[in-house]
Amino acid sequence: MSYAVKEMFLTLQGEGVHAGRRAVFLRFAGCNLWSGREQDRASAVCRFCDTDFVGTDGDGGGRFADADGLADAALAFWGEGREGRYVVLTGGEPMLQIDDALVDALHARGFAIAVESNGTIAAHPGLDWICISPKAGSEVVQRSGNELKLVWPQPGQGHSLTDVEDMEGWVFDHLLVQPLDDPKAAENAQAAVDLVMDRPRWRLSLQSHKYLGLR
């Protein structure tokens, strides 16, 4: 199988439980909830995505013919030293492309593998860290993992507090709420704080990479 990668780079994880951790970010092209084209945003299931995942023209991106070639590219971004190797598979929707061969190739090179997914496709069982960010209007099938990261509030109908209560019955180690980054950022941040104050099982997650000027 070949892999379409929008971009790949070395950075610090900016959000969630592993915020501040050194990581290779591997962003796959394509998503099943939005085409990535602005003309389709209004009719998409996910309308608030702030990421460019169209094509393979980003830094470190390209079409990789096989899993070994892609894993070698990730290793080249990490550089010397085996300790702490960590790769984050994101998108778009990474589960459209993650397969046995890629998981095995990354593990063979000493990487712990994290995924950031919308949860509409079951996660590969070989992944080491599963972060699910559910999108209102989609059917989440991956209801277990390490980290549930809810963007709050979401545009349009969004998720209700009843939805939040239902999510609390899913099997995740960590429940995180992250303010939606849009022109109402201050209001959204307060809404996220209010949710955490009212429901103490949840923790606040911030996109620290944006404050630090990281990718």
Q: Which domain holds residue 144?
A: 3-212
158 against 141, higher pLDDT: 141
Q: Is 15 exposed, middle or buried (0-12, 13-18, 19+ CB in 10 A)?
A: buried
125-140 pLDDT tens trace? 999 999 999 999 999 9
User: How many domains in the chain?
Assistant: 1
**Contact assessment for residue 54 and residue 40, using Cβ atoms and an 8 Å cutoff:** no
Residue with tokens 């996910």: 46
- Cα 2 from Cα 170, distance rounded (Å): 33
Mean pLDDT of 164-180: 98
Residue 49 belongs to domain with CATH number: 3.20.20.70
Q: What is the pTM of this model?
A: 0.96
- Cα 184 from Cα 201, distance rounded (Å): 25
Q: Is the pLDDT at 207 greater than 90, yes or no?
A: yes
Residue of 78, 79, 74 whose CA lies nearest to 62: 74
Mean pLDDT of 31-58: 93
Q: What is the DSSP string of the chain?
A: --EEEEEEEEEE--SSTTTT-EEEEEEES--SS--S-GGGGGGSS--------SSS-STT-EEESSHHHHHHHHHHHH-S--TT-EEEEESS-GGGT--HHHHHHHHHTT-EEEEEE-SSSPPPTT-SEEEE---TTS-----EEEEEEEEESPSTT---HHHHHHHTTSEEEEEEEEE--STTHHHHHHHHHHHHHH-TTEEE---HHHHHT--
pLDDT at 48: 87
**Contact assessment for residue 129 and residue 115, using Cβ atoms and an 8 Å cutoff:** yes
pLDDT at 97: 98
Residue 169's pLDDT band (boundaries 50, 70, 90)?
very high
Residues contacting residue 39 through CB under 8 Å, at least 6 positions apart: none
**Contact assessment for residue 97 and residue 26, using Cβ atoms and an 8 Å cutoff:** no
- Cα 120 from Cα 100, distance rounded (Å): 19
Alpha carbon of residue 213 to chain centroid: 19
Active site residues: 25, 31, 46, 49-51, 116, 209
